Amino acid sequence: MSSLQKGLAVAFIHILIVLSLGGKLLYDRATRPRVWVRTGSVDPDLPIRGRYFTLNLEVRSPDFKPETPYRPGIVPPQTYDPGYVELSVENGQLVAHRTDRPTEIAINSWSRQRSRGNDIFLLSTPVVFFIPEHAETPRLGAGAELWAEVTLPQKGPPRPIQLAIKRGQEWIPLTYR
């Protein structure tokens, strides 16, 4: 086998790997549950990775109770039970159920969203949504919330598909094409 044939074989294998990953993501998007989730975003730019939003997803967890009481102005301790969870979609909401086995997904006992209710928490691992370099960064005005549509794969954290801004009952999808 000549070096040209070996090079073409390696290139063909790399192309198959990339296509199989893309196919899996498209298959998950078509067959796995999807849901809109309220988010918070941080750090929209990092020179090494490009422009993106780090999204902290809110999740309802009725069977998970915070270990430390909420006290305004007091920083929670950094030692906590990670609260491993499995995610599902119930009644159009992202819901986390506690599990005894370690998973890639957890909620922190101190991340309770007090203003939203006692059973709303943030996932401990944020997800990343990449945007084009020259795309406009959305500005959230008063009363506006950033939402993300996510796919729930069988394993691992949710995968964001698209973003929208919600003002009252009005939804404004953000397009980055």
CA dihedral of 24, 25, 31, 36, whole degrees rounded to 10: 160
Query: Would you state the pLDDT for residue 11?
Result: 94
Please choose, from the candidates 99, 146, 102, the residue with its C-alpha nearest in 3D space to the C-alpha of residue 127: 146
How is the chain split into domains, by residue range?
1-31, 34-174
Residue 10: CB atoms within 10 A of its CB come to 10
Q: How confident is the model over 30-83, as pLDDT tens digits?
A: 888 889 988 876 655 566 666 788 888 888 887 766 554 545 555 454 444 556
Token duo for residue 106:
């957890």
Token duo for residue 58:
């809110």
Q: How many CA atoms lie within 13 A of 143 on its CB side?
A: 5
Q: What angle do CA 102, 95, 131 make, to 5 degrees?
A: 90
Q: Which residue has the higher pLDDT, 146 or 107?
A: 146
Query: Would you state the pLDDT for residue 70?
Result: 47
